[in-house]
Amino acid sequence: MHIGFIGFGHMAKVIFDALDRAKLIPRSQVSFIQRDPQKMRENEKTYGITSTSMETLVKKSDLIILGVRPAQAKMVLEQLRGLDPSKMFVTVLAGVKMSFYRKYLKNPILRVMPNIASEVGMGMSTFSYSGKPSEDFRSITHLLFSCMGEVIEVPEEMMDISVGISGSGPGFVFRLIEAVAREGEKKGIPYPDALKMAAQTFMGAGKLVLKKGNVQNLLIQIATPNGTTEAGLKKMTELKIDEHYQAVVNASTKRSHELSEEFQ
């Protein structure tokens, strides 16, 4: 299995780091291409993988991962037109629909939306395949992205809301963590300590939800009548926090849909 990265920005590096840590594929079987020759040389030295030409990358790679900016997609796909249909194609571009890729490629395609938490092996990657993928393609791609965290398959029409929930989601959580930490700082807790308290609390709560699978039961367990948690939850209801946060997710979802409309 040879993997080729077209574009080697932040997310491509995260994917490569995860594969490298898991020792799934030797570095000798990974190559990449980048627009900036200087960055390409620097990354080649830093990551110990081979930079190459588009022609060589396409010829050698069994699986190609597209990680350029969406605005560059058409230019790259023009170069890939007529790609050997036996080669597997994975795209991590936000907002670019499968129908757009289908204008240029007849290959098995996976559209995947990882998130930034993949950097620490706690990511959430949402998968959408073109048509019915072969068992080989499904198993290989699940194996690759499971190194970065969890994987869920959804129909392509669910990709925009998936962006709102998990693709952009860490950014919203970062804001909430920062807000909680700053409140702790106002009350006298040193900021680094308050930040650690907030971040660990969010992480622990998330892990508990994944383990138990029932948020309502957890709320019943923690919200003692007339207690501190109940007081805070009542204020959340009063401020309509649920509705406001859902509006945040929907704003991200809407923007993802707008972006996808640009690629017809």
Return the structure tokens found at 220. Answer: 């019943």
Round to whole Å and give the CA distance between 106 and 88: 10
| pLDDT value of position 241 | 97
Which regions of the chain carry the CATH code 1.10.3730.10? 169-260
- 50-51 and 63-66 beta bridge pairing: unpaired
| pLDDT value of position 263 | 75
Which regions of the chain carry the CATH code 3.40.50.720? 3-162
Round to whole Å and give the CA distance between 136 and 129: 13
Do residues 19 and 143 make contact, with C-beta atoms less than 8 angstroms apart?
no
Query: CB within 8 A of 250, min separation 6: which ones?
Result: 164
- The architecture in CATH of the region 3-162 reads 3-Layer(aba) Sandwich (3.40)
Tens-binned pLDDT, residue by residue, of the chain (264 aa) = 999 999 999 999 999 999 999 999 999 999 999 999 999 999 999 999 999 999 999 999 999 999 999 889 999 999 999 899 999 999 999 889 999 999 999 999 999 999 999 999 999 999 999 988 999 999 999 999 999 999 999 999 999 999 999 999 999 999 999 999 999 999 999 999 999 999 999 999 999 999 999 999 999 999 999 999 999 999 999 999 999 999 999 999 999 999 888 876
DSSP character at residue 35: S
> Cα 180 to the chain's mean position, in Å?
25
Choose which CATH entry (1.20.1050.40, 3.40.718.10, 1.10.10.10, 1.10.3730.10) describes domain 169-260.
1.10.3730.10
| pLDDT value of position 158 | 95
Do residues 166 and 124 make contact, with C-beta atoms less than 8 angstroms apart?
yes
| pLDDT value of position 264 | 65
Query: CB within 8 A of 219, min separation 6: which ones?
Result: 233
Round to whole Å and give the CA distance between 5 and 65: 5
